[in-house]
Chain A
Amino acid sequence: MRWIWLDRILTLDPGKSLVALKNISAAEDVIHDAVPAVPHMPHTLIIEGMAQAAGILVGHTGHFREKVILAKITRAQFEPLVPGPGTALRHTATLDRFDPSGAATTGTVDLLDPATGSAQPFARIQLMFSHIDQNRAGLEFPDHNFVFTDQFMGLLERSGIPTPN
């Protein structure tokens, strides 16, 4: 995660779940790229948002000692909704399984409309993460944690989420 896609972490229940918010703005170029006539957040980047939300949850569970890498999009299902500018996405990631080798998560995404206050179920995304230092091939990676950078930890800080010791 070299860039931060989420705007804010709303809640974190350690080892269990994390809820994060991603606002969708017309000022983001990517909103206009897929279908110029219908600006919207592409599904691929919604999966990225979930990967970051779930990745933080997995990292936090391991006290940010492991390098947590998205290894597999097990399943991603979307409802036929248009996440356009002025709406927001609420990513709720739940930890299914945590292991020295990696973790499995299930996530739901709700489409929030501030005009009506509605929250519509939009996507269900299952992911797998690898703790790459524990890889089965015995490959070695740099010592420093290049996943959870200062920029990334800043998201936790400004969201008021305490980091584990």
Chain B
Amino acid sequence: MPSEENYEKVQEVLEDALGVDADEVTPEATLVGDLGAESIDFLDIVFRLEKAFEIKIDQSELFPENVLNDPQYVQDGKVTDNGMEELRKRLPHVDLETFDKERDVDSFSNVFTVDAVVKFVESKL
């Protein structure tokens, strides 16, 4: 269970990085679909999390999209079994259960929720 303090710090980071209101940043909100994050925002979020929590983050740790550019993990727009295994290994902070049903690459961004970001940060503390 994420601490209230960490959740509020992540909430503040996302408000500043994405220009959204506090009430939009719910635990289940997706960064891309619900909060409108674009590619460059992920780098902004990483920079701000590093500063807020005084931690060091490699962008690919939090958002390893390079997995989805690798043909050994993706075929015909769907993540393969090997790809799912790699994603689970690389993204222990993310709930991949729903994504696993369709494995559609285009909907992958929906796995990045506010809750996943909080869990990731807490794993680094």
Contact = CB atoms under 8 A, between A and B. Distances in A.
Contacts of A74: 16-17, 44
Contacts, number: 42
Nearest to A102: B43
Nearest to A72: B40
B interface majority secondary structure: helix
Nearest to A130: B40
B69 interface: yes
A144 interface: no
Given A74-B17, A96-B47, A128 B40 contact: yes
Given A99-B59, A137-B69, A71 B40 contact: yes
A interface majority secondary structure: strand
A101 B63 CA distance: 13
A72 B41 contact: yes
Interface in A115-158: 128, 130, 135-138
29 contacts: A72-B38, A72-B41, A72-B44, A74-B16, A74-B17, A74-B44, A97-B47, A97-B51, A99-B43, A99-B46, A99-B59, A101-B43, A101-B59, A102-B40, A104-B43, A104-B47, A128-B40, A128-B43, A128-B44, A130-B43, A136-B39, A136-B42, A136-B59, A136-B63, A136-B65, A136-B66, A137-B39, A137-B65, A138-B69
